[in-house]
Amino acid sequence: MSIAPRTSQETPAGSIHIEDLPTMEIMEETDLVYHQLCPADTFEDGEGKPFHVDGTHLAAFKFEDKFYAVDNRCPHMGYPMSEGSVRDGVLICHWHHWEFDLKSGACFLAFGDDLKAFPVTVRDDGYLYVGLARGERAAAKRRVIERGKRALERGLKDRSSFFIAKAVTALADAGAKPQEIIQQGLHYGAHKSSDGWSSGVAILTLAANLWDEVDPKDHNLFLVHGLVQISRRTTGSSRPYRAPFPQTKEEHDLTTLKRWFRYFVDKRDGGAAERILLTLNDRGYGKSVLADFVFTAATDFYFTGDGHALDFANKMFEALDYVEWDGAHEILRPIVIDLISRTRHEETSRWADSVPVLEPIFTRLDDIWKENQANEAELDISAFTQTLLGDDFVPIVAEIEEKLRAGVDPTDICRAMTYASAIRTARFHLKNEGDWHDVANIYSYAHALYCVFQYAPSADLLRGIFHGAVFLNYLRWLNMPAARIPRPGQRLDETFESVDKMLDRFQEFADFQKVYEAEILVNQYLEDGHDVDALKRALAHILLREDAELHMFQVLEVAFRHYALTDDTEEKRMHLLAATRYITAQKLMKNILWSTENAERLARGELLSERDDDD
Ligand code: FES
C-alpha cells in the first residue's frame, strides 16, 4: 500500500519520530521523502510486513513497541525478509538462517552483506511512514552492483557455479555493464593464478566479441561460462607481485628490450620477461609495440602450444581493448607463462621432417617481407584453400613463399588457411573423436593470425603462416576417412511450418547428437535464404546450453567472423557447417545452464522450491 509521498518539510506538526532511528546511513531529514505505509496499529509485536515503495522493496517490523524497516531482499539469495522472524532484536532469514541486527541491518555473518535499513516514524494520523533518500533508487542500484561484485568474487573463490550465476544475474539486473563484469573476471583470472592465459578469460573475451550476435536471453549464461572456467583454474591466492623497471634518466631503447624479452622467453625465465612487458606498459608504449614483442616471441618457436600461445595472445589484446586497458598490469602477465611453458614443436618428433624445410625459408624472411611490401597481388582464396589442403607440405610452403614475394596480402593467406581449416573440421570423421581439439586449434589459430597481421604485421610474424600451413597438413589424416558434407541442394525429408519450427528442430538434432541431420538442416536453411542472424543465435544457444569447453566457443567465433568476411556462398556454407558439426558432435553436461536458470528464476522472485511443470 502507498500514497503520494510527503516531503519532510510537509511533516505534520507534532508527528512522532521513533527515538532510535536506524543509523546505518545518517541522512539529513531534508534529504528524505517520507512515504506512508499502513496504520501502525495493524502490526502484531514481532510481525514483519512487505511494502513496495517508489521502486524500493521494504520489510517493516514492529518489535517491542518500536518500528523498523529494512530492504526486503535478503543479501544472501533474495528471500523476503518480511517472512523472517525477530528474536531479541535479531532478524533471522528463514531460508539459510543469516542473522541481522534489526535496527542497523548489520549482518552477523563475517562475510555476509548488510541489509540496508531505513528510518521510520509514526505520525499523528496513526500511520507508519518510511523515509527514503531522494535518489534512493539510484543508490540502491549502486549498492546492488557493489554487492554483486563482492558476491562474484566470493563465487569465484568458492568455485560455485550457482553463486557466480547469482552474482552475474544480480549485476545484470542492477544495470551493470557487461564490460564491468568481464573486466572483473579478467582481472581475477589473471591475478589469482600463477598459470598462463586460461580458457575462462578467453571465453569472457569471446563473450565480449560475440555479445551482439547472441540472443540477449543468453548473455548471463555466456558470462557464467567464462567465470566458472576462471574459478576452476584459479586458487584464490595471488600471483607474486612484479613491478616495472624503476624509472631512470636514460631509458632502454626498444631494440634492447625486445632482444632481452626474446632471450628470457627462450630461456624460459618468466619473471624477467614479465618485467619487460610491465615496463613497456608502464612507460605508455601502445598495443602495437607490446604486440610486436609478444608475437615475435610466440613465433620464435614452432607452433608454440599447438598455436595457443599466439591465439591466446591475440585474445589478450582483444580483451585489453574491450576493457580499455583497465587493469592491464595484471591482465598482461599470464601470457608470458604461455610463451615459456608450452610445447615448442621443433622439439617434437612429429615436426622433425618439417623443421629442415622451414629453416632455410626463415633465413629469407626479411627478403620475403621486403618484396611483399613492395609488390601487390590478388589471391584467389578459394583456389589457394585447395592448395593448402594438398598432401605434401613441401610444395605448399614453397607456394606460400612465392605468393608472399608476389605481394599477396598475408591476411588473405590467413583467410585461405581459415577456410581450409573449416573444411578439415567439416570433414572430421566422428570416429576420430579424441582429436577434435586439433581441428579447432588450427581453425582458431588461422583466424588469430588473420587478426594479428592487421595490428602487428612483421617479417617475423610470417613464420606463423608457415607453422600453420604445416600443422594443417599434418591434420590431413584426421580426414581419412573424410566425413560426408551435405551436398548443395540436399534437404531433410520434412517440411517446416515456420523458420522458428525449423530452428526448434535444429535444437532437437543437437540434443540427440544427430550431427549429420543438423548439418543438412543448416544447408537447407541457408539455401532457403532464411535469416542467418537467427540461425547464428540458435547455434550459439545450442553451445551455451552445454557445459561447453573453450574450443567450441572458438569455433563459433571463427565461423561467424569468416562467414561475414566472404561473399563466396560455398565458403560461407562451409564455415557454418564446420561450426554446426563441431558443436553438435560434442557430448556434454548442462550444469552451468541449470545454475544460471536457477539464479535468474530467483532474481525474478520465483521460488526454486516450487515446481515449474504444473499445468
Ligand atoms: S539466508 Fe536469506 S536467502 Fe539465504
- Domain of 581: which CATH number? 1.20.272
Q: 365: closest CA among 299, 454, 308, 414?
A: 299
What pLDDT, on the 0 to 100 scale, is given for residue 595? 79
Domain annotation covers residue 603:
no
Q: What gap in Å lies between CA 253 and CA 259, rounded to an integer?
A: 10
| CA-nearest residue, atom 3 of ligand 1 | 77
Answer with the one of 343, 369, 385 that is the final residue of a domain.
Answer: 343
The CA distances from residue 46 to 80, 86, 600, in Å, are 15, 6, 32
Q: How far is the CA of 92 from the centre of ligand 1 (A)?
A: 9
From the CA of 93, give the closest atom in ligand 1: 2
Q: How far is the CA of 110 from the centre of ligand 1 (A)?
A: 14
pLDDT digits 0-9 by tens, 340-390: 999 999 999 989 999 999 999 999 999 999 999 999 999 999 999 999 999
Residue 30 in this model has a pLDDT that exceeds 90: no
Q: How far is the CA of 439 from the centre of ligand 1 (A)?
A: 46
CB distance 582 to 432 below 8 Å = no
Residues spanned by the domain of 431: 353-479
Domain annotation covers residue 56:
yes
Question: Is there a single domain that holds both residue 314 and residue 422?
Answer: no
Q: With a 6 A CB cut-off, is 95 part of the ligand 1 pocket?
A: yes
Out of 71, 95, 160, give the residue to mutate to test ligand 1, the one with the largest number of ligand atoms within 8 Å of its CB: 95
Out of 77, 92, 154, 162, give the residue to mutate to test ligand 1, the one with the largest number of ligand atoms within 8 Å of its CB: 77
Question: Is there a single domain that holds both residue 170 and residue 308?
Answer: yes
Domain annotation covers residue 400:
yes
What pLDDT, on the 0 to 100 scale, is given for residue 14? 30
Q: With a 6 A CB cut-off, is 96 part of the ligand 1 pocket?
A: yes
What pLDDT, on the 0 to 100 scale, is given for residue 600? 83
Residues with Cβ within 8 Å of residue 4, at least 6 apart in sequence: none
Residue 164 in this model has a pLDDT that exceeds 60: yes
Q: With a 6 A CB cut-off, is 93 part of the ligand 1 pocket?
A: yes
Q: Where are the beta strands (DSSP E) in 221-365?
A: none
3-state secondary structure of 21: coil
Domain annotation covers residue 244:
yes
Domain annotation covers residue 486:
no
Q: Which of 131-140, 271-280, 584-593 shows the highest mean pLDDT?
A: 271-280
Domain count, the chain: 4
Q: Are strands 56-63 and 32-39 parallel, antiparallel or unpaired?
A: unpaired
What pLDDT, on the 0 to 100 scale, is given for residue 427? 92
Q: What gap in Å lies between CA 59 and CA 68, rounded to an integer?
A: 8
Q: How far is the CA of 71 from the centre of ligand 1 (A)?
A: 13
Q: What percent of the chain has pLDDT over 70?
A: 92
DSSP 84: S
Question: Is there a single domain that holds both residue 207 and residue 337?
Answer: yes
Domain CATH code at residue 58: 2.102.10.10
What pLDDT, on the 0 to 100 scale, is given for residue 2? 35
Answer with the one of 418, 444, 479 that is the final residue of a domain.
Answer: 479
What pLDDT, on the 0 to 100 scale, is given for residue 483? 86
| CA-nearest residue, atom 4 of ligand 1 | 96
Question: Is there a single domain that holds both residue 333 and residue 370?
Answer: no
The CA distances from residue 86 to 45, 100, 101, 150, 430, in Å, are 10, 9, 9, 27, 61
Q: What gap in Å lies between CA 402 and CA 420, rounded to an integer?
A: 19
Q: Which helix (H) or strand (E) holds 128?
A: strand 127-133
pLDDT digits 0-9 by tens, 234-243: 887 888 889 9
Domain annotation covers residue 490:
no
Question: Is there a single domain that holds both residue 389 and residue 523?
Answer: no
Q: What percent of the chain has pLDDT over 90?
A: 74
Answer with the one of 321, 343, 365 that is the final residue of a domain.
Answer: 343
What pLDDT, on the 0 to 100 scale, is given for residue 590? 63
What pLDDT, on the 0 to 100 scale, is given for residue 589? 61
Higher pLDDT, 15 or 176: 176
Q: How far is CA 87 from the centre of its chain?
A: 44
Question: Is there a single domain that holds both residue 454 and residue 387?
Answer: yes
Question: Is there a single domain that holds both residue 324 and residue 196?
Answer: yes
Question: Is there a single domain that holds both residue 285 and residue 173?
Answer: yes
Question: Is there a single domain that holds both residue 65 and residue 141?
Answer: no
Mean pLDDT in residue range 459-487: 93
Q: What gap in Å lies between CA 333 and CA 327, rounded to an integer?
A: 11
Question: Is there a single domain that holds both residue 88 and residue 162?
Answer: no
Q: How far is the CA of 166 from the centre of ligand 1 (A)?
A: 13
To the nearest whole number, what is the mean pLDDT of the chain?
Answer: 90
Grid coordinates in use for 100? 541481522
Q: What gap in Å lies between CA 152 and CA 226, rounded to an integer?
A: 12
Q: With a 6 A CB cut-off, is 74 part of the ligand 1 pocket?
A: yes
Domain annotation covers residue 614:
no
Q: How far is the CA of 410 from the centre of ligand 1 (A)?
A: 57
Grid coordinates in use for 266? 627462450
pLDDT digits 0-9 by tens, 133-162: 888 778 878 888 888 899 899 999 999 999
Q: How far is the CA of 93 from the centre of ligand 1 (A)?
A: 6
Question: Is there a single domain that holds both residue 129 and residue 144?
Answer: no
Question: Is there a single domain that holds both residue 158 and residue 80?
Answer: no
Domain annotation covers residue 604:
no
Higher pLDDT, 78 or 497: 497
CB distance 64 to 41 below 8 Å = no
Out of 85, 93, 107, 607, give the residue to mutate to test ligand 1, the one with the largest number of ligand atoms within 8 Å of its CB: 93
